[in-house]
Amino acid sequence: MKYLTLAVGLGLSAAAVLVVPGSGATASVEQATVVDRAHPVASRYLKQKPVWKKCGDEELRTYCAKITAPRDWANQYSGNDIEIAVSKVAPKKGKPSRVVFGNPGGPGGAGLGMAPYLASQAPLAKDHLAVGFDPRGTGDSSNVSCQGAPQYTMDARDRDPWSLNLIQAASQLSQPYCDRQSRGLLPYVNTAQTVQDMDLIRQLLGFDKIDFVGYSGGTWMGAYYQTYFPEHVGRFVLDSNTDFTRPWLDTFTAQPQGFERRFREDFAPWAAKYDAKLKLGQSPGAVIRTYNRLRTALKKQPAVEEFLDGAVKISYDQNTLDEIVTGDMYTKEDFYSLAIDLAFLRDLSVAQTKGGPRAAQRKVDALPLARQQELVRRASRDTIGLSPLGRTVGDDAEGATFTAVTCNDTPWPQGREYGDQLAARLGPHYPLLGWGMNENPCFYWNRPELNMPQPTGKGLPTTLMVQSVHDPATNYSLAADAHSRYAGSRLLTITKEGDHGIYGGVNKCADKIINTFLTTGKAPAKDAACVGEGIPAPSMPPPGAEYAEAGQPGYADAAPLRRIAGFTKAVSGYLQ
């Protein structure tokens, strides 16, 4: 993680950024064979018999197995195999007539929890076999790692030459770490290889066509599966969309505007509306000024505090603050928790300025144990959905897979100049993320020889795209642009909404349309819209304060991607 320093005593990882690697000077990276088309599957992979084991609690009804896949689908007889972890949940009665796959995005998000999550959607549970899997590189599948790679610890807003030089050095040094730690797998962690893993799962399960629900980075995976395997495409729902018709660069370049809009047009007016309770400012402008003043103060004098009787140390500086703010933009569930945390950090900074570090520590020590535990959890949590480049994306395998996929899949402008100019252009308008656009190893990444076909949608069944208008991580413009270029697609727009990840409880109108499509194949005759259900008033306890896990109180009301992460945690680790 980028901004946190957590004591090893609790088993939490030390402070790190999502290590977004890159080094155009790297000579050690193995070149993967070109995979620009689907390859016939060698019989030894098709003849394998997965051993399904119960994973997770009884009520989840989930079974997991590991299947063997080639490290390189274009070179299946090399003997270099990997393992892919797969999960499934069958209907309670009868034999399933269809199969639905799911992916929570990332890219790099572990996906075993997609099976019990999709099975928890009542309309799908009747006759669909629900399937999840951990994509190559992450989760319980064969992993990649970037452990030890340099971190972006500088303030992205500092445009001094020494700071820009440090950003360049960190970016250039990342790929050698990732490559060395990943034992030759790194070049083969890309979407072209992953969709072939996905189709192998389909064949082993015995279905001719698959339905699919993909969130965030999973929309990219879904569109490429459609492109590589059009004859096996059923009903595809792409929720919170990347622009899968263009390079990854386009998706990430749109993020600064999306996060800034969400913060200024959704969170700030909401916080101002409830100023009597939250005390962050009586107008949206005042709320933004509270954030800016706090950022300046924490940059001048970071607050380094011990929690839980010294077991955990958290350093709050300007980068920590930005990480907290951006992390809480994905779902309105987190707005109240963010408001509480901003007030706490403001008071902590004031105490330190007036009374020194001991005064600040006394404020922490006075907090109830449950509140300290909550702050530690929030400090160490994973990001929901497509992470901004250079930001936290979960554990190391998840972050390394994110880096590998985004840097391997499509070309990036190489060298320092483009990234520095992009940051200088976007930073003044969208300071929350814009200044950090050059913190990106993909600008220095030595890509494998990979040329994937561009998704066009031609010849496919209808694809249902779902998008909220103020999504921070996947800007609405991405969905609109991809939709305009993707033949046969329908776009379901959720107005007055900004959550990232819609299907499964965010909007009743959207769920009805999506479930009708998945269960009957009936898509809207033309593009459609649903009106958002609003941001709830702050209430105790703050919604989203607990990291949602299967079986926990309030779990059923959690954001879809958070529920999926909870399911994944509940069913992972049973295939050692």
- Beta carbons within 10 angstroms of residue 566's beta carbon: 22
pLDDT in tens, 482-513: 999 999 999 999 999 999 999 999 999 999 99
The CATH class of the 90-143+203-245+459-571 domain is: alpha beta
Strands 81-89 vs 63-70: parallel, antiparallel or unpaired:
antiparallel
Question: Is-contact 33 77, C-beta < 8 A?
Answer: no
Helix (H) or strand (E) holding 238: strand 233-239
Domain boundaries, the chain: 8-17+254-380, 90-143+203-245+459-571
Lowest mean pLDDT among 50-54, 355-359, 554-558: 554-558
- Above 80 in pLDDT, residue 393? no
Predicted local confidence at residue 151, as pLDDT? 87
pLDDT in tens, 245-287: 999 999 999 999 999 999 999 999 999 999 999 999 999 999 9
User: In Å, how far are 52, 70, 76, 429 from 43, measured between CA atoms?
Assistant: 21, 12, 10, 55
Cβ partners under 8 Å of residue 424, min gap 6: 159
List the single range of 130-139, 285-294, 514-523, 554-563 with lowest mean pLDDT: 554-563
pLDDT tens digits, residue range 192-251?
Answer: 999 999 999 999 999 999 999 999 999 999 999 999 999 999 999 999 999 999 999 999
Query: 175, 26 in Cβ contact below 8 A?
Result: yes
Residue 389 has pLDDT above 90, yes or no: no
| 392 pLDDT more than 60 | no
- pTM over 0.85, yes/no: yes
Confidence label for 387 from pLDDT (cuts 50, 70 and 90): confident
- 325-333: average pLDDT: 95
- Digit-coded pLDDT (tens) for 131-180: 999 999 999 999 999 999 998 999 999 999 999 999 999 999 999 999 99
Residue 13 has pLDDT above 90, yes or no: no
Residue 463's H or E segment, with its range, is strand 463-468
